[in-house]
Amino acid sequence: MFIIEKKDKKTKKRIGKIETKNGAIMTPVFMPIATKGAVKNLTPEELKKLGVDLILGNTYHLWLRPGLEVMKKSKGLHKFMNWGGPILTDSGGFQVFSLAKYRKITKDGVEFRDPDNGQKHFLTPEQSIQIQLDLGSDIIMVLDECLPFPCTHEQAEAAVGRTTKWAERCKTYFERKGISNFQFSISKRNPKSKIPETIKRPLLFGIIQGSVYKDLRERSARELLDIGFDGYAIGGVAVGEPRQYLWQVLDWVLPMLPEDKPRYLMGLGRPEEIIGAVSAGIDMFDCVIPTREARHGRIYKFKNQNSKIKMTMQNVKFYETIQIAKSNFAKDFWPLDKNCDCYACQNFSRAYLCHLFRAAEPLGQRLATIHNLNFYLELMRLLRQ
């Protein structure tokens, strides 16, 4: 359900469109994080106004709270949070990494202990898919094992083996429970794209693991390609490893992936990293940076209009960050970014945001989040141009 609309002649960058049951996604795309069913500090209406195409929810967290009973009664996550656009849900695999103190991995799945109340939960590949189907996800991720850096080759090899076996189980369950419960509508077709305008089933993505080991990354990619998925994600590249490994992993894996399937780099990244990954052929990104750093008063902005033309991975000077709560902004009545058209920049001064953060007023976090997300979305729009 992916078409490439244009390719760059000098790089591997491409512009594409992913068709989902809840709308089209233009790529390259950045996904704001809505782990627990909300992008922190923003409403769905504000996300729409910013031009967000796709958000990311988390299977593990939504499974625990509010729980599947609530989700089923609300007829899925879209209606529950009043978001009409596409949603991608992580499988819970990242919690295999991030909740290491509270989990135990077996060949059948992962046993978690809820950090809040100590209650035990067991997540299998099949259960992960069913939860995501109950959430009504547009893009479903398979359950994988994500290892921290550093790890030994032996540890990474075992994780790749489990990730492949779990991916097979996810695909089998998805085909039995997922596809069988959805039907394709082929009554209306876009003459140019030659794919259905209305898609009635979610998409299923595999996740390539293998840490920083070339043989394991290539093995993981081969095994997932043999299983066959609607798209392919590259995981385990934002877990503490030195950044040079990221580009090595992309060099190893991307030539193996089919051009007619979306490529998703999980958990990345800083603006210059996104630019480099797009030039390498990546289509999809998610990261907490714009929203998390906004909550701490760290503002991302282009240096000037001309700097937007000179965006490269090597030229990190095309943007800057400012710490808005610093005293030098207390009497600065310029907008956060005079060249930005977001609500925060069009209506409020740096001095006002400085005051809000110093006074611990939540509105400061909201306005900073609006601006930072707009910066990232503008970055993607410029890359598509």
Domain ranges in the chain? 2-287, 293-384
Catalytic residues: 90, 286
252, 253, 255, 256: CA torsion to nearest 10: 120
Residues 6 or more apart whose CB falls under 8 angstroms from that of 60 comprise 90, 92, 94, 95, 112, 123
- How much is the pLDDT for 189? 43
Distance CA 330, CA 358 (A): 10
- How much is the pLDDT for 197? 46
Which residues is 203 bridged to in the sheet?
139
- How much is the pLDDT for 181? 63
312 is written with which tokens? 């490269």
Taking the model in full, what pTM does it have?
Answer: 0.94
Phi-psi region of 176 (alpha: psi -120 to 50; beta: other; left: phi over 0): alpha
Candidate CATH numbers 3.90.650.10, 3.30.70.20, 2.60.40.1510, 3.20.20.105; the one for domain 2-287:
3.20.20.105
Taking the alpha carbons at both ends of the chain, their separation in whole angstroms is 22
Cβ pair 105, 96 in contact under 8 A: yes
Cβ pair 345, 337 in contact under 8 A: yes
- How much is the pLDDT for 36? 96
Cβ pair 62, 76 in contact under 8 A: no
- How much is the pLDDT for 199? 61
- How much is the pLDDT for 150? 93
Please, what are the averages of pLDDT over each run of 10 residues along the chain (385 residues)?
93 96 97 97 98 97 95 97 98 82 92 89 95 97 93 97 98 86 46 53 97 98 98 92 91 97 95 95 97 98 81 79 98 95 97 98 98 97 92
